Structure formats: C-alpha cells, structure tokens
C-alpha cells in the first residue's frame, strides 16, 4: 500500500545534503501534482484488480459452455405461394351457383303419396309410367280393398352408410293367427283371460270388437303383449254386459287377419240361506220294515248336506240305507229292514255361503215278540224301542 508523504517528510526535500539526489525543487514544492499521481495510481490498481477477477470467474465458464454440443436451430425457408394460373371470373362463379341450386332442387323434390308408393312397389323406373295413368275415378278407387298377402318391397333410398340410390328390399307378411281361443263361459264377478298368438311382418296392430263395437283399454279391459307374438286380452271383473261375440283383428300394411269367439256370462243369483220348506216328521215302524225320512230345502247357491244320528255323523250302510235328492231341493233317507239300532234322532244340516239351517226327527222301532199263557197259548206283544 502506498502511504502519502507527511508534511515533515516533504520538508526534508529542502535539506541541502539531499539536493543532488532529489527531484527538481519546483516540482517537489507542488502539492497538487503529488495528490493527482496518488489518485491515478489507486485507480489503475483498482482496474487491474477487477480485470483479474473477471478472468478468474468468467473465462472457465465460457470454456465449459463452448465445449457443450448444442443442436443447431433449423430454419425453414418460407415458400411463396404460387400464383394461380387463372382467376375465376364472376360469370363462372354465378354459373356454378346456379348448377348447385338446380341439383339441390332435383334432390329435394317432393313426391306425392301415389308416387312414393309406386316407387316402393314398382321401382323408380316404372313409377313414372304408373303415376301418369290417372284414368281411375274416385268411385273405382273406393272399391279397392286390401287383401291379405305377402310381398317383398324393393325400392331405392339412402342406406345406413349414406349411399344414395342403393336398392333396399323389405319383406312383408300378412298377419296370421297361430293360436286362437275357444268359446268361454265365465261366472259373473270372475276374472277372464283370453290368450292368442299372431304372426306378421311388420308387427301387426291388434284391435278388439264386442258385437261390432271397438273396445278401448281401460281399468276393466287390458291388452298385453308378450314375447314371440303371444297376446292376452284381460277382463278384470266380468259382468253380464261382457257377454257377446268378440272379434279380434290384426292389421299391418301387408293385410289383416281376424278370428271370432263367444263369451257367455252366468249371472250370479242373490244369496239365500238354506230354509226347510218341508220338514221331517217323527216316525214309528216295526222291526224289519222300511221307513222314509223326507224333507225339502231351498237355498241359493245349492247347499251342502250332512246327515247325523244322535249328534254323530251317520254311517251309511249301503246294504240297507240310501240317499236321494232331486232338483227341487227334496231330500230323502231310505232305511230298509229296520233294526233296533236304527232307532234315535236323525238330523239334516244344510250349509251354503249365506248361512246354515238344520232339521231333525225321531224314529222309533217296534220289536215283535210272543208271550206264553197258562193254557200254552202264545199271544203277540210289541215292545217300543
């Protein structure tokens, strides 16, 4: 480090012994010049220090970066578009627009119902000739009726891929009933189900008619469609108004099919509990004789009958006992070759949905025996059992 000279040292320059070795007096005597040289020396030292520091830090970094193999950027040359050989004039553009509009009008031309049907049935070639013939009058057209038949439709159209004008073939079959129900008889208040099977292509629509009047599905009438062409017609609660002739009609565009059946409804009578119009009467008979126990009961519906003897179920002996009844409600118990064991109380019970009623009678059996007198004569005697 440099040390600036002190005033004492500077004063020594005026010493006479040192005069030959010192600088010229005019220069040594100038303090301003000495200060400038000192500042210059300091600045040069500082610049040297910074240059050395720069070389120590940045030169190794520069050498390491220069050794790396970085890819060179690829520059694409811009190619100028080629000038069009010829420009479209306004007349050419207008002509192309007119041609496009005419083409769209041809494709979007609407066909009448007769033309569409003719194209589907006869093809596009024969459709125009067929549609030109309008000689049929309205009265003649009304006389035409669809008949059941099967056919194949071949017409042009747009397929799934969007190809226009491709041939499309579709087969149609008139409805045909494979299974039909017979005539039915149902009690009033019951549930009724009518099953049938129909086949056709396309799938036919089914309608029901009762005595010529159309039946619509509601809360009491339901129409079900099952798998493989099976159909069911349901009547939830049958009434007397459901009786009649039913006709089922199946239709599609190939034709129609139908069948008829009859439904009879048994009217439900008013419930009446059993009542014995004629009751059994008590009877007496000799042992070995025949006796009949008869009565008549009225009820709706007809009741079930149970015979008892002395509060026990009567055991019918097929060799001596028989039960008879007729449509008027008369009941009869026939006892043949009476025995003492046949005597007792007989009860008939009648039961139906409305109630129950009973009727009973007493049967006495007379036993015949002989008594001997002192004169050895025998007299008959009757014992009541």
Q: What domains are defined for the chain?
A: 174-266 (2.60.40.10), 272-371 (2.60.40.10)
Q: Which residue has the higher pLDDT, 295 or 47?
A: 295
pLDDT band for position 349 (cuts 50, 70, 90): very high
Residue 253, pLDDT > 70, answer: yes
Measured CA angle at 304 (ends 303, 310), to 5 deg? 125
Q: Any idea which of 122-131, 206-215, 296-305 has the lowest mean pLDDT?
A: 122-131
Q: CB–CB of 272/302 below 8 Å?
A: no
Query: Which residue from 322, 330, 334 is spatially nearest to 350, judged by alpha carbons?
Result: 330
pLDDT at 32: 53
pLDDT at 109: 56
Residues 6+ apart with CB under 8 A from 181: 194, 195, 196, 261
- Euclidean distance between CA atoms 332 and 325, whole angstroms: 6
Residue 12, pLDDT > 60, answer: no
- Euclidean distance between CA atoms 366 and 65, whole angstroms: 149
Q: Which residue has the higher pLDDT, 226 or 246?
A: 246
- Euclidean distance between CA atoms 313 and 361, whole angstroms: 15
pLDDT at 285: 92
Highest mean pLDDT among 71-80, 149-158, 292-301, 369-378: 292-301
């Amino acid at each position: 480090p440099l040390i600036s000279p002190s005033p004492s040292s500077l004063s020594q320059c005026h010493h006479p012994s040192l005069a030959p070795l010192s600088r010229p007096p005019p220069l040594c005597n100038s303090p301003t010049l000495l200060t400038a040289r000192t500042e210059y020396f300091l600045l040069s030292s500082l610049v040297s220090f910074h240059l050395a520091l720069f070389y120590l830090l940045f030169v190794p970094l520069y050498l390491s970066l220069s050794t790396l193999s970085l890819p060179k950027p690829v520059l694409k040359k811009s190619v100028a578009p080629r000038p069009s050989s010829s420009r479209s004039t306004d007349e050419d553009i207008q002509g192309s627009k007119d041609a496009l509009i005419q083409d769209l009008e041809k494709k979007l031309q609407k066909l009448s119902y007769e033309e569409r049907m003719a194209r589907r049935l006869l093809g596009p070639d024969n459709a125009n000739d067929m549609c030109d013939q309008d000689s049929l009058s309205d009265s003649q057209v009304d006389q035409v009726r669809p008949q059941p038949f099967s056919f194949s439709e071949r017409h042009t159209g747009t397929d799934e891929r969007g190809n226009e004008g491709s041939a499309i073939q579709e087969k149609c079959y008139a409805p045909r009933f494979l299974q039909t129900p017979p005539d039915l008889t149902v009690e009033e208040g019951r549930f009724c189900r009518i099953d049938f099977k129909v086949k056709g292509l396309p799938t036919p629509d089914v309608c029901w008619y009762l005595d010529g009047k159309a039946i619509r599905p509601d809360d009491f009438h339901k129409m079900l469609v099952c798998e493989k062409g099976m159909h069911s017609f349901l009547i939830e609660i049958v009434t007397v108004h459901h009786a009649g002739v039913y006709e089922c009609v199946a239709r599609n565009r190939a034709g129609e099919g139908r069948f008829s059946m009859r439904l009879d409804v048994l009217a439900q009578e008013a419930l009446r509990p059993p009542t014995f119009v004629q009751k059994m009467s008590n009877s007496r008979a000799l042992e070995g004789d025949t006796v009949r126990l008869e009565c008549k009961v009225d009820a709706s519906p007809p009741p079930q009958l149970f015979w008892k003897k002395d509060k026990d179920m009567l055991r019918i002996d097929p060799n001596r006992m028989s039960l008879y009844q007729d449509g008027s409600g008369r009941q009869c118990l026939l006892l043949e070759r009476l025995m003492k064991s046949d005597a007792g109380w007989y009860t008939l019970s009648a039961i139906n949905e409305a109630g129950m009623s009973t009727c009973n009678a007493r049967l006495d059996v007379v036993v015949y025996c002989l008594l001997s007198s002192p004169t050895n004569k025998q007299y008959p005697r009757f014992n009541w059992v």
